[in-house]
Amino acid sequence: MTRLGYQIPNFTYPDVDNADIFGNVIAQARAAEAAGFDRVFVMDHFYQLPGLGEPDEPMFECYTVLSALAQHTETVRLSSLVTGNTYRHPTLLAKTITALDHVSGGRATLGIGAGWFELEHNSLGYEFGTFTDRFEKLEESLQIVIPMLRGETVSLDGKHYQVRDAVNSPAPVSRIPIMIGGTGEKKTLRMVAQYADESNLAGGPIDEIPRKLDVLAAHCERLGRDRADIKVTKLLMVLVAPTMEEAEADLREIAAAKGWSDEVAEMAKMVLIHGDPDTVGEQLQACMDTGIDGLTINLPGNGHKTERIGLLGEIALAATSKS
């Protein structure tokens, strides 16, 4: 089954008051579900990310939002893209994702990564540590969370986490899939091969995907894992409108809402796949042609216009159905 996810990475919308932000988020999730997306994601951050806005722009805590969205959707799976492992103790994370599975009727997915946004950690009091520390923590967390989600009693005397006879009750409604985000070849993709059901390649150009798939396959072979059991998706940032002129107008509108300079707005064009349906569709198809199993797409510039989500769904479904 081809996977098609819609991510909501931005909560700054033109002409939307602070009290109305979540109403627009609900509208986006519903529009994505109606457009044929099978999953809806939000980011697990507390500050807006560089390149998308300023740190003091609105940003919701992800699992509260996902649990609320569960009450306004019916079929889409719900997940963070991805959970920053450094923000929650693994036993709390296991309980949190289990609660999401219950309130959504078995639609939770655990997306997880090592964590990388140093400003958030330093500002809000979370230990950032070294690169090695964060990946050691991620692996220990997976060794705790996954067994807890599978109904096991877990004990671990790790370097970073110590738990004794940890129990997760009630058990999840469903078997919660594990998705690891990132493209690192030595650590991240090895952990995908060892622990995950899915890999989301969140960064890097499209032409690097075949190499990442080869690296993942090599890790699977070494670990005795069937590569076919792991689905690989790619995160893409898109701005699409019925015409190129309307896409440009949407970009100018969000730039004004965020206070971007003309230079920053031009830089955004270099990051986004932007344009009319034909232009965007060609690039989505090129991504699928690399051999991945699906796409996760966000519309940071105009996702607040739900008709753009419907248009994106048409384009993305066409691209994924050809592969």
Q: Is the pLDDT of residue 137 over 90?
A: yes
Q: pLDDT by residue (tens digit) across 246-264? A: 999 999 999 888 888 888 8
At 233, give phi and psi (nearest 5°): -125, 165
Query: Rounded distance, CA 241 to CA 249, Å?
Result: 9
Query: Rounded distance, CA 277 to CA 45, Å?
Result: 31
pLDDT of residue 323: 63
* Nearest alpha-carbon partner for 168 in 191, 193, 145, 202: 145
Q: pLDDT by residue (tens digit) across 156-168? A: 999 999 999 999 9
**Scanning the structure block, which residue is given the tokens 């991504």?**
287
Taking residues 127-154, what's their average pLDDT?
98
Q: Per the structure block, which two tokens stand in for 2?
A: 């081809």
Per 3-state DSSP, what percentage of the chain is helix, strand, and coil (rounded to 5)?
45, 15, 35
What pTM value is reported for the model?
Answer: 0.95
Predicted confidence band of residue 271 (pLDDT cuts 50, 70, 90): confident
* Cis peptide upstream of residue 170 (ω within 30 degrees of 0): yes
Predicted confidence band of residue 154 (pLDDT cuts 50, 70, 90): very high
DSSP 8-state secondary structure symbol assigned to residue 56: T
